[in-house]
Amino acid sequence: MELTVVAIKREDGLYHFDHPHNDTVEELLMNGTEKVIDTHYYFLTGRNSNPGDQIKIYLTTEELPESEYDTELTFVESDENGSVYLDETICDYVWLCPWLQDYFGEIPNNLYVKVDVVNKGLENFVKATGMKKFLDKK
């Protein structure tokens, strides 16, 4: 099973996302998860994230070849308030709320994660000019 969200950085340093599952609006990513997202953002861009910055997060429970994901989240513990995972790349903990368990129907033991920065300025430039080659990174 897989999940893709676009997390948006808020003024208070947390991230939030919207998703059609349960009509989710502004679900927070917090309790240390925001710091791990900030680190991945820095690795991708070479700069610290700012309010309004966006990062696409793709999670899957299906094991992927190492070349196809940025990090693996390994389950550590869970209670009624959420689950803690170890980000194997950053070597720090992330907290995921019960929303994730509801979405997947269980608490996954491992999540394979791909992250990518959403560059709204570039997307708008390409839309206005039709110069799609600027979106090709490789």
* pLDDT tens, the chain, 138 aa long: 999 999 999 999 999 999 999 999 999 999 999 999 999 999 998 999 999 999 999 999 999 999 999 999 999 999 999 999 999 999 999 999 999 889 999 999 999 999 999 976 666 666 777 776 655 654
Instruction: Provide the token pair at 120.
Output: 């709204």
Q: Which residues form the domain of 27? A: 2-135
Rounded to an integer, what distance in angstroms lies between the CA atom of residue 61 and that of residue 34? 21
Q: DSSP code of 13? A: S
Cα angle at 111 between 66 and 67, to 5 degrees? Answer: 15
Q: Give, as one character, the DSSP assignment of residue 77.
A: E
What residue ranges in the chain does DSSP mark as E strands?
Answer: 2-9, 15-19, 24-29, 54-60, 71-79, 82-87, 92-96, 110-118
**Ramachandran region, residue 31 (left: φ > 0; alpha: ψ -120 to 50; beta: rest):** left
Q: How far is CA 79 from CA 11, 95, 111, 124, in A?
A: 29, 11, 18, 43
* DSSP string over 30-50: -TTHHHHHHHHHHHHHSS---
Sole residue written with tokens 């676009």: 6
Instruction: Note if the pTM is more than 0.75.
Output: yes
Total count of domains within the chain: 1
Q: What is the CATH number of the domain that holds 55?
A: 2.40.50
